[in-house]
Amino acid sequence: MAAARHSTLDFLLGATVDCNAVLKALQPIFQEQGMTETVHNWEDHGYLATYIKKNGSFANLRIHPHGLVLVDLQSYNDHMKGREEVDQLLNEVEERMKELFHGNIKRVKRLPAILRGGVIDRYWPTADGRLVEYDIDEVVYDEDSPFQNIKILHSKQFGNILILSGDVNLAESDLAYTQAIMGSGKEDYAGKEVLILGGGDGGILYEIVKLKPKMVTMVEIDQMVIDGCKKYMRKTCGDVLDNLKGECYQVLIEDCIPVLKRYAKEGRMFDYVINDLTAVPISTSPEEDSTWEFLRLILDLSMKVLKQDGKYFTQGNCINLTDALTLYEEQLGRLYCPVEFSKETVCVPSYMELWVFYTIWKKPTDI
Residue 266 three-state SS? helix
Dihedral-angle region of residue 249 (phi above 0 means left; psi in -120 to 50 means alpha; beta otherwise): beta
Name residue 122's amino acid.
R
Residue 318 three-state SS? strand
Residues 30, 34, 35, 39: is their CA dihedral positive or negative?
A: positive
Spatial separation of the C-alpha atoms in residues 228 and 231, rounded to whole Å: 5
Task: Closer to its own copies by CB, 56 or 191: give it.
Answer: 56
Main-chain phi, psi angles of 213, to 5 degrees: -75, 165
Nearest to 31 by CA among 99, 95, 92, 100: 92
Task: Closer to its own copies by CB, 184 or 320: give it.
Answer: 320
Task: Closer to its own copies by CB, 52 or 339: give it.
Answer: 52
Which residue in the list 276, 289, 300, 366 is annotated as catalytic? 276
How do strand 114-116 and strand 136-144 relate by DSSP bridges?
unpaired
Task: Closer to its own copies by CB, 298 or 318: give it.
Answer: 318
Q: What is the CA radius of gyration of the chain?
A: 27
The least distance separating its own copies from the CB of residue 185, rounded to whole angstroms, comes to 15
Whether 44 is a known active-site residue: answer no
List residues near its own copies by CB under 8 A: 4, 6, 8, 10-12, 36, 38, 40, 42, 44-46, 48, 50, 52, 54-56, 58, 60, 62, 64, 68, 70, 72, 74, 76, 107, 109, 111-112, 114, 116-117, 121-123, 125, 128-135, 156-158, 173, 176, 318-320, 347, 349, 352-354
Q: Catalytic positions, please?
A: 276
